[in-house]
Amino acid sequence: MTIGELLKQYRIEQGKKQKEFIAGVVSPSYYSKIEKDTHRITAEDLLAILNKNKIAPADFFKKMNKVNRDRDTQTDYFSTEIDTAYYANDRERIQNLLKEIENSKLDKDTKATILLVTKGTLESIKKPDNEPDNELRQELKDKIFSIPNFNRFKFELYTNFMPFYDLDSNVVITKNIIKQFKNGDDKKTKMELPGLIFNIVSQAIENNRYDVAKYFIEEEKSMQTGYQNFLFKDALVVMENLVAYHDDHDSKHIDTCMLVYKNMKLAGMPAFAEQAKEFVEQYKDQ
- Tens-place pLDDT, residues 48-72: 999 999 998 888 888 877 766 667 7
pLDDT-derived band of residue 131, with 50, 70 and 90 as boundaries? very high
Whole-angstrom distance, CA of residue 182 vs CA of residue 232: 16
Q: Last residue of some domain: 55, 75, 98?
A: 55
Average pLDDT, the chain: 88
One domain, residues 155 and 49: no
One domain, residues 157 and 282: yes
CB count in 10 Å sphere of residue 211: 9
Whole-angstrom distance, CA of residue 100 vs CA of residue 185: 36
Q: Last residue of some domain: 55, 77, 98?
A: 55
Residue 170 belongs to some domain of the structure: yes
The arithmetic mean of pLDDT across residues 159-174, rounded, is 93
CATH of the domain at 45: 1.10.260.40
One domain, residues 154 and 275: yes
Residue 42 belongs to some domain of the structure: yes
User: Does the pLDDT at position 198 exceed 90?
Assistant: yes
Whole-angstrom distance, CA of residue 77 vs CA of residue 18: 36
Residue 160 belongs to some domain of the structure: yes
Alpha-helix residue ranges (DSSP H) falling in the chain:
3-13, 18-22, 28-35, 43-52, 57-87, 91-102, 108-124, 134-146, 152-160, 167-181, 187-191, 193-206, 210-221, 230-248, 251-266, 270-283
What total number of domains does the chain contain? 2
Structural domain for 263, as ranges = 150-286
Q: Last residue of some domain: 55, 75, 94?
A: 55
Position 151 scores a pLDDT of: 77
Residue 25 belongs to some domain of the structure: yes
Residue 84 belongs to some domain of the structure: no
pLDDT-derived band of residue 227, with 50, 70 and 90 as boundaries? low
One domain, residues 51 and 158: no
Lowest mean pLDDT across 3-17, 32-46, 132-146, 192-206? 32-46
Residue 128 belongs to some domain of the structure: no
Would you list the DSSP string of 126-143? --TTSPP-HHHHHHHHHH
Residue 38 belongs to some domain of the structure: yes
Alpha-carbon distance values, 170 to 132, 142, 225, 258 (Å): 19, 15, 21, 28
One domain, residues 33 and 158: no
pLDDT-derived band of residue 4, with 50, 70 and 90 as boundaries? confident
Half-sphere exposure of 63 (CA within 13 A, CB side): 13
One domain, residues 172 and 51: no
User: Does the pLDDT at position 147 exceed 90?
Assistant: no
Contact present, 47 and 25 (Cβ < 8 Å) = no
Residue 237 belongs to some domain of the structure: yes
The arithmetic mean of pLDDT across residues 232-250, rounded, is 93
One domain, residues 154 and 286: yes
